Structure 1
Amino acid sequence: MHVDSNQTITTEFVFQPFSSVPTTRWLLFVLFFLLYIAIVVGNTSIVWVVHTDRALQSPMYFFLGNLALLEVCYTTTVVPQMLASILDPCTTISLAGCGTQMFLFLGLGGTDCFLLAIMAYDRYVAICQPLSYLLIMTQKLCLRLVVAALSLAFLLSLELTALIFAMPFCRRQINHFLCDVPPMLGLACADIHIHQTVLFTVSVTILTVPFLLICLSYAFIGTAILRIRSAQGRRQAFSTCTSHLTVVLLQYGCCSLVYLCPKSKSSEDEDRQLALIYTFATPMLNPLIYSLRNKDIKGALRRAVRRTITSHPH
């Protein structure tokens, strides 16, 4: 690895500002802050009702509760620093802080993808092997699957983050609102071909492999649903999958465009726009999608609100 002796090695960074106009920055701050609050409140509500409502003590809702908790952690990794840099474009992030953000962002995002694949497997067992569902999807297996998803995602994240931050960086401004891999590679003053190869390999592992498993699960699910004779039975079976499918398409669609598509100079701004979708839109829509399309979640939320009102009478 060769570094020009005339180049200054950067140890802290600033993010590309969304706007140089103070009024616009304040409007963006308020917008993103409100979206962040909505994400935290919505997903925390899902975690709360899944944990407290006896009617939701099943593997499907155990995974949903973990997904909602992941969304809160995932967004919190990015948004506070982003809000600070919107208010003050000169706000810096240290080399260690940037590495920590990347490690957590990639690890939590990877766990999210693996968990969506696990949820597809859960739906496959529920629909294709309903009589054996509780025998297969035991509490111990569910816990092991979540721990395995976390462990694999954070192991891959650690390897990639360590590889990226072993490089010297010669530019200070990150053309993004977070320390993601593609913009950080653009700041390196070293050969990045190996890093790009590793990034593609990790992206395939985290995105393509789980997505193929999801497709396989739904191929079996679709076949099983078509065998159901009554139209009402088919609708009921498919309705348990539509929320999950919607979330999968949102998550994998945006992430695949950022990490798996060939890059060009014009794609940096597009990546930033796509990152806004999977940082804000997907975590905010998840609780809405699941609560609006799932009568059990809607019922649990109503019961939770009723309990809260009756426990705090005027």
Structure 2
Amino acid sequence: METLGGTRLAQLFKERQSELLGEWVTQQYAIASRRGGVAEVQLRNQFAQFVELVCAALESSDRVAFKTPTWDEVRSFLAEVSSARARQGFTPVETAMFVFSLKEPLFARLRGELVANPALLAELSWTISTLFDAMGLYTTEVFQTSREQVIVRQQQELLELSTPVVQLWDGILALPLIGTLDSARTQVVMESLLQKIVETGAAIAIIDITGVPTVDTLVAQHLLKTVAAARLMGADCIISGIRPQIAQTIVHLGVNLQNVITKATIADAFIVALNRTGKSVAGAIMPAEAPGAPGSLRGNQFAGD
């Protein structure tokens, strides 16, 4: 929306900048201090830069239209401030107040100067209201976009952290899954597992689903895709964590896992993996009455065949 009075408002900004700064910083510092990370000197610098850019845009034409190229630098500055505040934990309202905090001081100065000219007062008040509303809404739009980008990035990082691939033994990997297994997470799981297979040359990968709350057709399909991808890389998969409820569900769904080794626990799966890679577990507990007896094994020892 286009309004009039740009040059008059630019003059008002310049003549009353010190007074406006004082009131604006007071409100902004009260907000920023709750969030931390924004010092008063930084607020003063932001205000000075904001006023300079706004004045330049107002002086270019008496007609005020925020969406025109004249206001490109103002929009760029507001976008930078909004994105920074989104990362610092400000709310959308607190971010919009960067702009709205100036409306009341401006109205007060206008009323004092134009009390004898109500027509001009009404016109400039409308211009201020329209302009600052547009700028405030713009900061909110940028804030929401920036916040969504932060959330998406955090979700991606959580996905990567929640799918660690651990090397249990030479040639044996373990991938413990916790939580729901959807398409997006399956992609991360598959990429992580395949990359680790390439790095280690592992022949066996144990996919443990003890922490997966439910298994439906979609989850089973995701598991089979991961198994198939690992086989293409030369590694066989063992699925562990098959609880009675999950076994019943898989049978009920008719999911074919005949070509996949499944075990109830990751310990059982690990023993199978050791055997398939030519390793064995030997153990004998030393009798209590004969401590230090020769030829006995203390605890468990891994031995290659």
TM-score between both structures, scaled by the size of structure 1:
0.21
Q: Quick check: which one's helix share is greater?
A: 1
* TM-score, normalising length: structure 2: 0.21
Higher strand share: 2
